[in-house]
Structure 1
Amino acid sequence: MFAAVFVTLASAARRTVTTFLDLKKTFRQTVGRLFTRL
């Protein structure tokens, strides 16, 4: 029971971190594109 809850939390945390890193990468690319346009 407890192990299943832990695994679920761990996978959710990993998905959140992956999504956050993906957003950061996209944001950096967008900023870079804006600066090259200036």
Structure 2
Amino acid sequence: MNRRTIQGKYEIFLQKYNEGVKKYIPIYRVKKSIHTWYNAR
């Protein structure tokens, strides 16, 4: 890591960051439910 350029270090950082995000942050999807009482009237 000592002989890499700044850009190379940044790319390694982003790779490790994205791996951590994919591994430890859960994906939450919002369920859309349209209620009959919630309308324009």
Normalising by structure 2, what TM-score? Answer: 0.48
Match of 1:6 in 2: 9
Unaligned residue ranges in structure 1 (runs of 5+): 27-38
Q: 1:19 aligns with which of 18, 22, 39?
A: 22
Identity over the aligned pairs, expressed in percent? 0
Equivalenced residues, count: 24
Higher RCO structure, 1 or 2 (CA under 8 Å, sep 6+):
2
* Greater helix share, structure number: 1
Provide the aligned C-alpha RMSD in A: 1.8
Q: Which has the larger radius of gyration?
A: 2
